[in-house]
């Protein structure tokens, strides 16, 4: 099923300082996802993700979504749910690390009246709330082994027992999990059950980090500028080509979340210098020359110093390029190297050689579906920073 835009009905329930998404079809609150063309952009890696999501969405197979922080794991879960046959049921999120271990079992499976001191009434757990919907286990790697085995039971035959109860209950839900880290390593360390891993990852979706889908950057920037221009009722200046190039050569450790936050501040504050300053010190901090080395094994002095020289060169070139508005002829003269040598160093450092496509003016009309979603999003999108 190919959708251009999706609007879901949800309410947000804040527990333990984390956002918990609970579906409520009676609710007037609407949550909009960006259009599919924005979410998946045009890079082959994301097209593969799109194909996988569209293929598995309508099935009930458990899906594991992996990716660095801010790559859009939760967004993909929302999409999977919206495209699924269970979209009229709830999308119930469990932020696994946010719930204390001692409470996790009762949070997930609920309890019977009188199960323990203070259990005055029967309480439904999140698993039961997700009946006929989707259960989303976020950061699944932090679940303890005991809870993993109880969830394994749910996955095997759809049954569980409330804490303090005797009766086995059946539920029908689709499980989607997300993980930042490598669950296989956890299996090797004995902190994650191999049989549970097999069950939750019938299909695995790996989201690429933003630095591996730089061709999608202009589409995303464009979208966030439009979105936040509507939210803040303020349209900023078009970003300069030099700022665009800087963003294209940046390593984006916080992925799309970091990009979104940056653009949001840009729209709010309107200062390109502030945006550039956010990125430049980071480049220095990451690549700074340091004598910190791993002493557990022999090191190659030649390799380390070659890398340090490259890193330093990269930072200096970046600064001089920036100071010369990315004019490469001027930059080469300033650095007292040949133009050819500058081009070589740029390509070696993975910096862009061709000018990025200029940003669309946020005021320019897009196709109706996109505009509609952006409008819906600007009025109702709920975000946690």
Output the smallest distance, CB 270 to ligand ATP, in A.
21
Residue 383 binding result from ligand ATP, Mg ion, none, given CB thresholds of 5 to 8 Å by partner type: ligand ATP
**229 contributes a contact to ligand ATP by CB under 6 A:** no
Q: Note whether 73 binds ligand ATP by CB under 6 A.
A: yes
How far apart CA 76 and CA 53 sit, in angstroms, is 8
CA atoms within 13 A on the CB side of 242: 18
If the CB atoms of residues 261 and 322 are measured against ligand ATP, the closer one turns out to be: 261
User: Smallest gap, in angstroms, from Cβ of residue 78 to ligand ATP?
Assistant: 8
Contact 134, 89 (CB under 8 A): yes
Number of residues that bind ligand ATP (CB under 6 A): 17
Contacted entry of ligand ATP, Mg ion, none for residue 67, CB cut-off 5 to 8 Å set by kind: ligand ATP
List the interface residues with ligand ATP, window 23-42 (CB under 6 A).
34, 38-39
CB of 140 to Mg ion, least distance (A): 11
Query: Based on CB atoms, which residue is closest to ligand ATP, 34 or 356?
Result: 34
Q: Which is nearer to ligand ATP, 257 or 345 (CB)?
A: 257
* Residues near Mg ion (CB under 5 A), total: 2
Residue 75 as a binder of ligand ATP (CB under 6 A): the answer is yes
Stretch near Mg ion under the rule CB under 5 A, chosen from 7-15, 70-78, 98-106, 167-175: 70-78
* Contact residues for ligand ATP, defined by CB under 6 A: 34, 38-39, 67, 69-75, 180, 220, 256-257, 260, 383
């Amino acid at each position: 099923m190919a959708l251009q835009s999706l609007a879901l009905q949800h309410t947000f329930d804040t527990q333990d300082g984390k956002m918990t998404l609970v579906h409520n079809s009676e609710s007037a609150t609407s949550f909009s996802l960006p259009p599919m063309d924005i979410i998946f952009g045009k890079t082959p890696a994301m097209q593969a993700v799109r194909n996988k999501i569209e293929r598995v969405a309508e099935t009930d197979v458990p899906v594991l979504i992996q990716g660095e922080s801010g790559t859009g794991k939760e967004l993909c879960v929302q999409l999977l749910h919206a495209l699924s046959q269970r979209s009229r049921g709830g999308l119930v999120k469990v932020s696994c690390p946010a719930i204390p271990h001692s409470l996790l079992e009762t949070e997930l499976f609920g309890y019977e009246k009188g199960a323990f001191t203070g259990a005055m009434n029967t309480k439904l757990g999140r698993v039961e709330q997700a009946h006929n919907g989707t259960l989303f286990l976020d950061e699944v790697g932090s679940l303890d082994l005991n809870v993993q085995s109880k969830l394994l039971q749910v996955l095997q035959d759809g049954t569980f027992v409330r804490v303090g109860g005797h009766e086995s209950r059946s539920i029908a839900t689709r499980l989607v999990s997300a993980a930042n880290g490598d669950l296989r390593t956890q299996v090797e360390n004995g902190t994650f059950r191999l049989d549970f891993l097999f069950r939750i990852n019938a299909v695995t979706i790996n989201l690429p980090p933003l630095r591996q889908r730089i061709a999608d950057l202009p589409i995303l920037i464009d979208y966030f500028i439009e979105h936040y221009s509507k939210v803040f009722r303020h349209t900023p200046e078009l970003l300069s080509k030099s700022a665009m190039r800087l963003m294209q050569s940046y390593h984006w450790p916080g992925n799309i979340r970091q990009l979104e936050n940056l653009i949001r501040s840009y729209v709010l504050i309107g200062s390109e210098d502030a945006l550039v300053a956010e990125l430049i010190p980071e480049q220095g901090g990451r690549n700074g020359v340091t004598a910190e080395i791993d002493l557990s094994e022999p090191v190659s002095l030649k390799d380390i110093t070659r890398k340090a020289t490259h890193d330093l060169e990269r930072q200096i070139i970046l600064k001089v390029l920036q100071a010369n508005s990315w004019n490469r002829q001027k930059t080469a003269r300033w650095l007292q190297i040949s133009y050819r040598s500058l081009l070589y160093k740029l390509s070696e450092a993975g910096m862009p050689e061709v000018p990025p496509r200029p940003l669309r003016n946020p005021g320019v009309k897009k196709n109706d579906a996109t505009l509609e979603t952006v409008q819906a999003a600007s009025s109702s999108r709920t975000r946690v920073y």
